Structure 1
């Protein structure tokens, strides 16, 4: 379980980093706002991937049990 969560966190960091590099918007002037945005976006992506992955795993487990 811990390895799965760490893998999902790595995917979220990678996705967020690629998104920030590819983003063409004007950057905020302060570094603290940039870090806040980066970590909040990482948290959102991590949460969404966890919801999708664990919902799929739960449904798959229950369907195979029935």
Structure 2
């Protein structure tokens, strides 16, 4: 049996939008595609909690 280890971001409170592996990981976590993630980061910044709130469609509270 082969084990696949997923690389986690070093700091899970911020999204390193220039790191392809992080973009892929965050897209999977938020259930969105890369374009949606990049647009969300443009709107609210790289704080993961703010991006998550925007993608959830709930009221946005900038932290």
Structure with more helix by fraction: 1
Please report the TM-score for the alignment, with normalisation by the length of structure 2. 0.27
What TM-score does the superposition give when structure 1 sets the normalisation length? Answer: 0.26
Higher relative contact order (CA 8 A, sep 6+): 1
Q: Please tell me whether Structure 1 or Structure 2 has the larger radius of gyration of its CA atoms.
A: 1
